Amino acid sequence: MTDTLNKDTSKKHNTIFLFGRDFTELDLWIVKETVRRFPRLSQKELAHTICENLQWFAPNGNNKVDSCVQLLKKLEYQGVIKLPAKWNKGGPKDQRIPPTLQTDAPGEIITDLSQVGVRVQPVRESCQIRLWNEYVERYHILGYKRPFGAHQRYFIVSHDERFLGCILFSAAAWALEARDQWIGWTQTDRSKRLHLVANNTRFLIFPWVKVKNLASKSLSLVIKRIGADWQERYSCQPVLLETFVDKEKYHGTCYRAGNWVYLGETAGRGRMDRHKQYLSSPKHIYVYPLNRDFRSILRGESGCSQ
């Protein structure tokens, strides 16, 4: 859905940088006018409309709807726009996922890794997505939250088709000082190529599964296939993986065993924090390069591209 918007473009070169792109004064005027003109649109409809008007697309050509929704919430938080009241009402996505018999714990699985025949299985069908969400909501310490941006779910599966755990990769953290310095990123480099980094935001081995080294084996398997899975869905391949480990609860053993690189700690701030308020505890940062030229690719150096 689009609508013709007209405004003097004389100030279009004054820009601010938000969510991976530069926004001119004209761009922000278009956002505000679209919100004003279409108060009855849903979040997704409004985000699609704004993306089309701004030509704001992901590498695979799809509208960057998730980023646009986050932009709108940030602009409202800063007092730039006023979103429809219905946006602030809790909906199904805000509610906990009720447990069903499908995710009840079976008997313990105690065996050697060699007897499991483990594989990682991409989750694509809607019924499988719902089941994955329910498992994570029920058994992961952080519960389920809708993934931000590009993402791919996986089940960890045994040779006899039993689910052993869940893995999720989603969009990378926007500003991460230790990572950005390690890569050698400028703000411009990061804005252009952040989509080439994927974040392991959920990793769960079910509590009834007692298989030594299953976690590190599952990570090694997903590393081998995530590039092709991402390419199929988003027309690009990540060259670097990242993850955050809560140092107060976990030791990051499976990441260290898998040769992930420890970079330091996060600042402990959330995505939408603007006052340097510590909204969560600092986490350990681990990264894993998927391409030996990852730095050159992420910095856009001549002869290296994705």
User: In this predicted model, what pLDDT tens digit does every residue of 103-119 receive, in sequence order?
Assistant: 999 999 999 999 999 99
User: In this predicted model, what pLDDT tens digit does every residue of 42-74 receive, in sequence order?
Assistant: 888 888 889 988 888 888 788 888 889 888 988
**Average of per-residue pLDDT values in the chain:** 86
- Distance, in Å, from the CA atom of 262 to the CA atom of 283, rounded to the nearest integer, reads 11
Specify the 3-state DSSP secondary structure of 5.
Answer: coil
The architecture (CATH level 2) of 112-298 comes to 3-Layer(aba) Sandwich (3.40)
Evaluate whether 19 touches 54 at the Cβ level (below 8 Å). no
Return the half-sphere exposure (C-beta side, CA atoms, 13 A cut-off) of residue 275: 4
pLDDT attached to residue 273: 45
Residues of the chain above pLDDT 90, percent: 50
Rg (CA), the chain: 21
- Distance, in Å, from the CA atom of 11 to the CA atom of 127, rounded to the nearest integer, reads 49
pLDDT attached to residue 303: 60
User: In this predicted model, what pLDDT tens digit does every residue of 282-306 receive, in sequence order?
Assistant: 889 999 999 999 999 999 986 665 5
Which of 81, 4, 2, 82 minimizes the C-alpha distance to 49?
2
Reading phi first (left if > 0) and then psi (alpha if -120 to 50, else beta), residue 300 is in: left
- Distance, in Å, from the CA atom of 143 to the CA atom of 250, rounded to the nearest integer, reads 16
- Residue boundaries of the structural domains of the chain: 15-88, 112-298
pLDDT band at 89 (very low <50, low <70, confident <90, very high): low
- Distance, in Å, from the CA atom of 53 to the CA atom of 201, rounded to the nearest integer, reads 31
- Distance, in Å, from the CA atom of 37 to the CA atom of 224, rounded to the nearest integer, reads 47
Which of 39, 40, 44, 51 minimizes the C-alpha distance to 2?
51
Evaluate whether 30 touches 54 at the Cβ level (below 8 Å). yes
Which of 6, 231, 234, 212 minimizes the C-alpha distance to 115?
212
Evaluate whether 295 touches 184 at the Cβ level (below 8 Å). yes
Q: pTM above 0.85?
A: no
Instruction: Give the DSSP H/E element, type plus range, for residue 228.
Output: helix 214-234
